[in-house]
A and B are shown apart, each in its own frame.
Chain A
Amino acid sequence: MARVILENVSKIFGNVEAVKNFDLTVEDKEFTILVGPSGCGKSTALRMIAGLEEPTQGMIYIGDHAVNDLPPKDRDIAMVFQEYALYPHMSVYRNMAFGLKLRKFPKDEIDQRVKWASEILGIQNLLDRKPRQLSGGQRQRVAVGRAIVRKPAVFLFDEPLSNLDAKLRVQMRAELSKLHDRLQTTIIYVTHDQVEAMTMGTKIVVMKDGVIQQIGAPLEVYNHPVNMFVAGFIGSPVINFFPSRLVSNKDRLFIDAGTFQLPIPEKKASYFKSMPDSEVIFGIRPNDIYDLQYAPERLKENVIKAVVDVIEPLGSEIHLNLTSGRHSFVAAVDAQTSVRVHQEIELALDLEKMHLFEKDEPNLRIKTAF
């Protein structure tokens, strides 16, 4: 079994606490993604699991063994680095065989494993080449191949797709997901790209300033972010935030954002009734804002008006940058929407998908059952 447990792990560099009180359990065969902005401590956490950094406090377990005192080579892990880290003076074959040779595997088995891994990754014709003779995508595959020949208990990926172009990144994302499905091995993957996090992981861990913000399945984190940071980090385009106030009018609760007032759906309103006249942050994702012309019928009472500043046609949808009074926000509307810059447009909001956050730090989301 290859469960990975981090118990109250911290890492301090000089005066900087890069990772604080990190508690995480990665179950066997899980594909867990550590995601967050640059400097949030995700790579440091990964490097502590690998044994390349020593925790300042806390315990790390791989399988059932505490590994704090074990060097990287004894932890049964394989790591894929952002910069590939291929050995420039060795051929692709020797790169992939290196770890097995160090562990004194018989030559036949080394040959067989290298052949197996190279066929999975489609690099069997590249075995005699040196890394400098490979493209970026090929180098990435060799780096992955070097890891999988070892058949470790845990794979560690440190932003492996960051150096690839957009198209190749999309392709490799799918391949890594298929690889996980095939190998059924625990994977811990670090990225700053929330699209990778959403599309690849079975569990994502959102981090900020060395602290875990939320752990959950991708859709759980997307639909029920624990605070404004998570809501703003996960999801593309970024969620819109409107500083607002809750107001009560004739037994109905409204969000008053200054330039518009919207009624809160009855199902959600019961959770906010104890806080009338409170200042809150109203959040709604661009995909939950519709051009009124193409909005579902049930949304047509939740209408606001805004002026178009920028139009970004993406083909399958259009992103509109809009202004309503002092609020600037983004809507992802139907591709058929016909509008010009500086023109006013009517928008319908799906308030079933709305979020309310506390005004004060840490801007926790006010919980509802929905």
Chain B
Amino acid sequence: MVGSRTLGRQILNIYLPLTLFVVFLLFPLYWMSIVSFKPTNDLFEMKFNPFWIQRFTLENYLYLFQNTDFPEWVKNTLIISLLSTAISLLCSILIGYALARLRFPGSNFLGVGIFLAYLVPPTLLFLPLAQVIAKLNLYNTYWALILTYPTQLIPFASWLLMGYFRTIPKEIEECAMADGCTRVETLVKIILPLSTPGLISAGIFCFTLCWNEFLYALIFMSSGPMKTIPVGTVSDLIKADTLFWGSLMASAVLGSFPIAFLYSFFVKYYVSGLTAGAVKR
């Protein structure tokens, strides 16, 4: 920060608050990890340091893989997340580009309508969606979620991509059209390559939302092996008043750490995608 010249002031003004903030944010992940590698009895043993592992064990992970359908949950979550993200991105690209670049009657009205859809809470939206899913006989199938998740994903992703497309100079598109591109060719050959940060940002948003989503997955797809990680974790590792803490945390670790690790490679794209257009070029 401006003015923090001495090391002492830097520690006080920058490093200490940052450290506290990081600890606050990362502590739940740390706790989650160490609990997953402890025997359940150790969790209630008062003489052990709760912030450390006294006896390392993999029994929680073994229980997860041998006594639950965890691999199936991962497969289901992955398929649903990837397909929902792909459908949402495809729709959002077309919507975002149309709203950003095309002039047609009712475009403003349509744009506002799409964003208003985002304001409807999913907890209310599932009621009419449940009727639709039932009528289409899609309960307990992947399509129940693949078709309903985009209702939450498309509005925000369209808004994000629309903002990003607007940062691309119009002259580049006009030049492409003068060079010989149709509108679709301009979108595919010029706009999309230049929009990589925006697409990654929208993709991360969509994928994360699908991966972590609980309510719709619980309602539309929760029988037998047709569960996602969040639903399976809660339904199979919490039985009556018994919580299998170790395996619960193991499921949480395996469900989140690989994704977080992958995301760390795309953080700069996520930030630039969200802030594109904030400042005039």
Contact = CB atoms under 8 A, between A and B. Distances in A.
B177 interface: yes
Given A87-B190, A89-B194, A102-B185, A52 B174 contact: yes
Given A83-B169, A88-B194, A102 B178 contact: no
Given A85-B171, A87-B190, A52 B180 contact: no
Contact of B174 (A78, A81, A88, A146): A81
Interface string B157-174: 000000000000101101
A103 interface: yes
B175 A85 contact: yes
Interface centre among B174, B178, B193 (most CB of A within 10 A): B178
B177 A71 contact: yes
Contacts of A63: none
B185 A77 contact: no
Contacts of B177: 51-52, 71-73
Interface centre among B171, B172, B174, B179 (most CB of A within 10 A): B179
A117 to B, nearest CB: 14
| Interface class of chain A by DSSP | loop
B130 interface: no
B29 interface: no
B182 interface: yes
Interface string B164-208: 000001011011111111100100001001100000000000000
A79 B180 contact: no
A85 B180 contact: no
Contacts of A82: 171
Interface in A80-95: 81-83, 85-89
A164 B172 CA distance: 19
A78 B174 CA distance: 11
A88 B190 CA distance: 9
A45 interface: no
B180 A103 contact: yes
B179 A102 contact: yes
Nearest to A98: B179
A52 B174 CA distance: 7
Contact of A85 (B174, B181, B185, B194): B174
A306 interface: no
B172 A85 contact: yes
Nearest to B177: A72
Given A99-B180, A102-B181, A79 B175 contact: yes
A79 B173 CA distance: 12
A202 B191 CA distance: 38
Given A88-B194, A89-B194, A83 B181 contact: no
Interface in A13-54: 50-52
A340 B87 CA distance: 77
B171 A83 contact: yes
Interface residues of A, number: 23
A77 B169 contact: no
Contacts of A85: 169, 171-172, 174-175
Contact of A50 (B176, B178, B181, B185): B178
B102 to A, nearest CB: 14
A78 B176 CA distance: 10
Contacts of A99: 179-180
Contacts of B175: 79, 81, 85, 87, 146
Contacts of A150: 179
A73 B182 contact: yes
A97 to B, nearest CB: 10
Contact of B178 (A78, A86, A88, A103): A78
Nearest to B172: A85
A79 B185 CA distance: 18
Contacts of B190: 87
Contacts of B169: 83, 85
A87 B172 contact: yes
B146 to A, nearest CB: 32
Interface string B67-95: 00000000000000000000000000000
Nearest to B193: A89
A316 B13 CA distance: 61
Contacts of A89: 193-194
A262 B118 CA distance: 77
B142 to A, nearest CB: 35
Contacts of A73: 177-182
Contacts of B180: 73, 99, 102-103
Interface centre among B174, B175, B182, B185 (most CB of A within 10 A): B175
B194 to A, nearest CB: 6
Interface of B: 169, 171-172, 174-182, 185, 190, 193-194
15 contacts: A51-B177, A52-B177, A72-B178, A73-B178, A73-B180, A73-B181, A78-B179, A79-B174, A81-B174, A81-B175, A83-B169, A85-B174, A99-B179, A102-B185, A146-B179
Interface of A: 50-52, 71-73, 77-79, 81-83, 85-89, 98-99, 102-103, 146, 150
The 9 A-B residue pairs with the shortest CB-CB distance, nearest first, are A102-B180, A99-B179, A85-B171, A85-B175, A73-B180, A72-B178, A81-B171, A79-B178, A72-B177
Given A79-B174, A102-B185, 7 more contacts: A52-B174, A73-B179, A79-B175, A81-B174, A81-B175, A82-B171, A87-B190
